[in-house]
Amino acid sequence: MEEKKNKYKIETRNISVYYDHKKVLTNVSIQIEPNSVTAFIGPSGCGKSTFLRLFNRMNDYIEGFRKEGDVFIDNKNIYNKRTNVEELRKAVGMVFQKPNPFPKSIYENVAYGLRIQGINKKNTLDEVVEKSLKKAVLWDEVKDDLKNPALALSGGQQQRLCIARALAVEPSVILMDEPASALDPISTSKIEDLIHELKKKYTILIVTHNMHQAGRVSENTGFFYLGELVEFGNTKQIFTNPANEKTENYITGRFG
Amino acid sequence: MTHLEIELEQLKKAIIEMMDIVKNQLEKSRTALLSMDTDIAQEIIHNEIRINALELSIDRDCENIFALFNPVAIDLRFILSILKINSDLERIGDLAEGIAKFALELESSPPKNLLTEIRFNEMFELTINMLDNVIEGFIHEDTKIARQVFKKDKILNQINKDSPGTISDFVEKDPEIIKPSLYLFSVIRKLERIGDLTKNIAEDIIFHIEAKVLKHKNAVKKIK
């Protein structure tokens, strides 16, 4: 496949996804600029999470997964045979709905990614752990308890720890699947502030059921419905004057 | 109907009620002034309390909807337009009350030939007609009807512009009518303001339905 250079960090061209014979995404083409936050909204089962999981090839694990079309990150076709999926997942970090720290210490959770790469030098690890926890705005809360078990942290702290763990391997893209839906309002607001901060260095894609969160954190929003990208555009535009009636009905709660 | 839709429907009803009362006040103020009817004038002044109370209640409902429902898109534009229409209506109510007060202060009714010359009746008729247009446009969410006010507002502006010359000609000929003429001039200014406020309401209806901002078009162009 020809790989044309352009300024976009991420691009999909006519991507369709099937699970066995069921088509779950239809012909989605999207272009995402670097250092931006893009939110994907839509009712359950609309394909937004499947879409998100295309970018770190998480769908590969799902039986019957098949896709048509292409996905590019940094102008590279990530479904190319030459793609090293492990390298891809280092570059494209992911944060899930429920915080999923390993049953290890706070320190080891963050250092994990480096250790499996064979990096065990204490100075390097110390440095990366501190830097990552600082970026995830968790350092001040845990710096004296790095040896404590990660599972003893609060839900909001665990989620920021998972973000720190993703940041430790220096990704350039972060995928977030409902990163705050299991958190209380204060933790949610911390995660949202963090997203604003992380945007300076990373390109962030976030799937959320909370439309107001999409409005608060993102520059661009895509609305999925029945596997189609119905509307994609500037978040302010989508939430004040969407072009498509389906989008309007969904965001104003008149759907169905 | 969703809970939000029920709230919005109630808000719409409240604004329509406010529109009807304000229009009624304006019609009555004409009668009060032209027939020097102090009873009607008092009634208008009394009704003003009701308008003010309604304004506060609509404002509070909007505030609650913002806080509880976080409206977006067309719902957001609706509430924003309601807030502005509400305040414009309240000011039209104030102006109608101002006109009614003249009926209490004036000792004799304004000279008939002067009224004809400055197109006083036409002016009143136009403002009431413009209010009818925005009421109908608002009820049926029809911007075509609301847009009818723009032309009429231009006529009002012209009448207002012509009035100082006409009035001074009359006063020069008959200095006795200075006092009623000054009152009359003041009423013309108020009617012209009512025209402007009604035009604002039409612009808000268009903003709500078409998401177009018509306000200060020239100023925005200059900034760009």
- Is A21 domain-assigned? yes
Average pLDDT of the residues in A225-251: 94
* Residue A75 to chain B, least CA–CA distance (Å): 35
Q: Kindly report, residue by residue over A142-200, the tens digit of the pLDDT.
A: 999 999 999 999 999 999 999 999 999 999 999 999 999 888 888 899 899 999 999 99
Of the pLDDT bands very low, low, confident and very high (cuts 50, 70, 90), residue B112 is confident
- Is A62 domain-assigned? yes
Mean pLDDT of chain B: 93
Mean pLDDT of chain A: 93
- Is A216 domain-assigned? yes
Are the CB atoms for B88 and B197 separated by under 8 Å? yes
Domain hosting A243: range is 10-100+172-251
- Is A144 domain-assigned? no
| Burial group, residue B108, by CB count within 10 angstroms (0-12, 13-18, 19+) | exposed
ipTM of the complex: 0.74
For residue A41, what pLDDT is reported? Answer: 96
Of the pLDDT bands very low, low, confident and very high (cuts 50, 70, 90), residue A65 is very high
* Residue A126: pLDDT over 70: yes
For residue B120, what pLDDT is reported? Answer: 92
Q: Kindly report, residue by residue over A111-120, the tens digit of the pLDDT.
A: 999 998 899 9
Facing residue for B2 by CB, picked from A240, A251, A253: A253
Would an 8 Å CB–CB cutoff place B80 in contact with chain A? Answer: no
- Is A112 domain-assigned? no
* CA B168/CA B170 separation, integer angstroms: 5
How many beta-carbon pairs below 8 A join chains A and B? 29
Average pLDDT of the residues in A126-143: 94
Q: How many structural domains compose chain A?
A: 1
- Is A16 domain-assigned? yes
Interface probe, candidates B9, B69, B74, chain A, greatest A C-beta count within 10 A: B74
DSSP letters for B159-204: HHHHHHHHHHHHHHH-GGGHHHHHHHHHHHHHHHHHHHHHHHHHHH
* Residue A256: pLDDT over 80: no
- Is A167 domain-assigned? no
* Residue A47: pLDDT over 90: yes
Would an 8 Å CB–CB cutoff place B1 in contact with chain A? Answer: no
DSSP letters for B71-122: --HHHHHHHHHHHHHHHHHHHHHHHHHHHHHHHHH-SSPPPHHHHHHTTHHH
* Residue A2: pLDDT over 80: no
CATH number reported for the structural domain that contains residue A204 in this entry: 3.40.50.300
Domain boundary assignment for chain B = 3-223
For residue A1, what pLDDT is reported? Answer: 47
Are the CB atoms for B90 and B57 separated by under 8 Å? no
- Is A57 domain-assigned? yes
Give B3-223's CATH code, choosing from 1.20.1740.10, 1.20.910.10, 2.60.40.420, 1.20.58.220: 1.20.58.220
Percent of chain B clearing pLDDT 70 (strictly above) = 97
